[in-house]
Amino acid sequence: MKLRTLVWRELFERKSQMLTCFLAILLGITTVVAIKNVTHYSEMAVAREMDSLGANVLVLPKSATLQDYYSADMQEDTIPEEYVMRLTMSDIQGVDNLSPKLCVPVDLEGKQFALTGILPKSEFQAKAAWGGAGIFSRPIGCGAIDTGVDSKPEDKSTLVRKRVIKDLGSHEILVGPDVATFLDLKEGDSLTLLGEPFSVVAVLPETGTIDDSRIFAHLHTVQRLSGKGAVVNCIEIVGCCEEISAGLVGNVNKLLPDAKVVTVRQVVATQQNVNHMMGRLSVIFLAIIVIVGGAGIANYMYANVFERRREIGTLMALGAESGLVLRIFLLKAALLGLVGGIGGFVIGTTLAVTLGPKLAGVPVLPMPMLALWAVGISAGITLVASYFPARRAARLDPVATFQEV
Amino acid sequence: MLKMEEVCKSYQHRGQVVKALDGATVEIPKGDFVSIVGPSGSGKSTLLLMLGGMLSPSSGRVLLGDDSIYDLTADGRARLRKENIGFVFQTFNLVPYLTALENVQIPMFLAGMDDPSQEEKATALLERVGLGDRRDHKPTELSVGQQQRVALARMLANDPAVILADEPTGNLDPETADQVIGFFEEFNEEGRTIVMVTHDPKAAERAKNTLKLSNGKIVSNGSTRRKPRHVA
């Protein structure tokens, strides 16, 4: 006879009660695990979608305003291109993407367009990697994790979404749809700009923004042709919204004291709102499970103590101390919690992986970390909910074993 | 030696004070076999519970050897019961989901004995009460007489010096009751002190001494003429 024999045998003595209590724990944990799992991947999907909202932090010259940026950053003032390297070589957390830009007006067939110089990511990323440090030496993507699903191969048109292009030749251009329509351009055509020929490598999709009237070329080519030297009008930063809250803007300001660092508040607020809503939804479900599940378990345990008071009294008459009685009930609670947690994790994960993609429209993968979380929550709820009934059992008057007092 | 010194126990019942035990003073020497008799509500079970450290007196002292039982903590009294006292109940109080063997193992488990020793000793005890072939039966699979014998084996598990029995034959037919009292006589001959509450005059007569209670007071305390042990 061991303590676990006593607990194990009793569990199966009152099967229907035990099963009811166990099912309550199992279903509760299953629900929370499934919701957390689907929510996690939905958040990641939303985070990826949020990239399309564009940059959320801008580095501008001191004199420039946000209005200048939205009117195609044609302001005269510039900042050194060297700021890009400072940023990439820094250890600032939360920078997902960088895009330095220099805009100069160009006249084409009587209409003015913005020739925008951009720096392909491969150039500053390679320099940072060569330096062995910097923001791109760490994984980035605002926590957007690899779902194991192949993303679409990157083409030049991703510039519109990601604000960054991986490679761009010195005489290659990407044209906005307004430019393409006006000049009747298509992929493979050539165009002369500021006296030099360029080949159109892509016509960008329509965005409804000023970008539709831009012509994108290599930054260094635009710098040379405009004669402005190694400068840019602005650096667009796609920052992770959590890090923006945690002081990303302040850190960039410290790094670049001679520039103006502004947050595009609407973008950040939208990102944060969506994430907070998802987080709150998860917390609400968890709170419901904790309250309903905990109350159910406490009720079951109180009933169990009441039914077993004669047995408890007998054990006490035979010499059981209060600590042992407490342990009998808490071990039972821990067992129910442990098995309920493991079972809830397995079923919840299975439901999330199979039904999640259909319900939420996002690929969902198992999250092993949730197993620890599920068992911890499950055992925690059962132990806390059982503590007071167990204490009542431990304090029972052994005289209750006798019918006649 | 078990001793009670001027022990009183009173309860409040609907605003009225009810005296369950009124100034009980008694000495039970080591190796005695005492039956406690009296009408229902006379305080027999109260007295037995107090001797077993399960019901604290309103006043007075209860001693086991030199230890004042109610000066100990609740856990201290539990340890004292575990080491010195064996209980037998009218309704046997076997744990329904455990087998006969496991029920007998309980006191040994509480005393921290290892599993193989528990099993070996419990088997021997069940054989002693004639239930060697019923060790894997649950209480519901045993007759009431067999259940009481399992309870006797359980009571002996920690080799108690004192046995307290509350109506041990109350639920048994005369033949089985006789058999159970026979076991008590045997345990008493081994040197154990036995205090038995009973309504059964035949069982009471088999004890060495009888305490008679009425309205919470001990009205007589004397020796019983010992009859020869029943041989089946």
Contact B93 A314 (CB under 8 A): yes
pTM above 0.90, yes or no: no
From chain A, the residues in CB contact with B78 under 8 A are 316, 319-322
**Closest chain B C-alpha to A397 CA, distance in angstroms:** 8
Contact B78 A321 (CB under 8 A): yes
**pLDDT at residue A143 in the model:** 46
* pLDDT band at residue A288 using 50, 70 and 90 as cut-offs: confident
Residue with tokens 């259940």: B147
Contact A13 B82 (CB under 8 A): no
Contact B55 A405 (CB under 8 A): yes
* pLDDT band at residue A282 using 50, 70 and 90 as cut-offs: confident
Per-range mean pLDDT, top range of A71-75, A98-102, A284-288, B183-187 = B183-187
More confident residue, A267 or A335: A335
Lowest mean pLDDT among A235-249, A360-374, A384-398, B97-111: A235-249
Q: CB-hemisphere CA count at 13 Å for B99?
A: 15
From chain A, the residues in CB contact with B52 under 8 A are 317
From chain A, the residues in CB contact with B102 under 8 A are 1, 5, 9
Assess contact for B165 and B114: CB atoms under 8 A.
no
Q: Can you give the three-state secondary structure of chain A, one letter per residue?
A: CCHHHHHHHHHHHCHHHHHHHHHHHHHHHHHHHHHHHHHHHHHHHHHHHHHHHCCCEEEEECCCCHHHHHCCCCCCCCEECHHHHHHHHCCCCCEEEEEEEEEEEEEECCEEEEEEEECCHHHHHHHHHHHCCCHHHCCCCCCCCCCCCCCCCCCHHHHHHHCCCCCCCCCEEEECHHHHHHHCCCCCCEEEECCEEEEEEEECCCCCCHHHHEEEEEHHHHHHHHCCCCEECEEEEEECHHHHHCCHHHHHHHHCCCEEEEECHHHHHHHHHHHHHHHHHHHHHHHHHHHHHHHHHHHHHHHHHHHCHHHHHHHHHCCCCHHHHHHHHHHHHHHHHHHHHHHHHHHHHHHHHHHHHHHHCCCCCCCCHHHHHHHHHHHHHHHHHHHHHHHHHHCCCHHHHCCCC
Closest-CA residue of B relative to A401 is B93
**Closest chain A C-alpha to B82 CA, distance in angstroms:** 4
Contacts 24+ apart (CB under 8 A), A105-110: A105/A74, A106/A193, A106/A194, A106/A215, A108/A179, A108/A182, A108/A183, A108/A191, A108/A193, A109/A182, A109/A183
pLDDT < 50 regions, chain B: 227-232
Q: Counting one residue from A and one from B, how many pairs have CB atoms under 8 Å apart?
A: 86
Contact A6 B98 (CB under 8 A): yes
* pLDDT band at residue A164 using 50, 70 and 90 as cut-offs: low
From chain B, the residues in CB contact with A316 under 8 A are 54, 78
From chain B, the residues in CB contact with A326 under 8 A are none
Q: What single-letter amino acid sits at A15?
A: K
Contact A324 B54 (CB under 8 A): no
Contact A401 B89 (CB under 8 A): yes
Distance CA(B104)–CA(B113), nearest Å, equals 13
- Nearest by CB to A402, from B45, B118, B158: name it: B45
Contact A316 B78 (CB under 8 A): yes
Instruction: Return mean pLDDT, chain A.
Output: 80
From chain A, the residues in CB contact with B107 under 8 A are 318-319
Contact B98 A9 (CB under 8 A): yes
* pLDDT band at residue A162 using 50, 70 and 90 as cut-offs: low
Hey, what CATH topology would domain B29-58+70-223 get? Rossmann fold (3.40.50)
Contact A319 B49 (CB under 8 A): no
ipTM: 0.91
Assess contact for A63 and A262: CB atoms under 8 A.
no
Distance CA(A50)–CA(A75), nearest Å, equals 28
**pLDDT at residue A12 in the model:** 85
Q: Which residues contact A266 (CB under 8 A, 6 or more apart)?
A: none
* pLDDT band at residue A161 using 50, 70 and 90 as cut-offs: low
Contact B52 A317 (CB under 8 A): yes
Contact A1 B102 (CB under 8 A): yes
Contact A314 B55 (CB under 8 A): no
Distance CA(A154)–CA(A166), nearest Å, equals 9
**pLDDT at residue B108 in the model:** 96
**Closest chain B C-alpha to A400 CA, distance in angstroms:** 10
Tens digits of per-residue pLDDT, A208-223? 777 788 899 999 999 9
Cβ atoms within 10 Å, residue A4:
12
From chain B, the residues in CB contact with A324 under 8 A are 110
From chain A, which residues contact B within 8 Å (Cβ)?
A: 1-3, 5-6, 9-10, 12-13, 310-311, 313-324, 398-399, 401-405
Closest-CA residue of B relative to A308 is B95
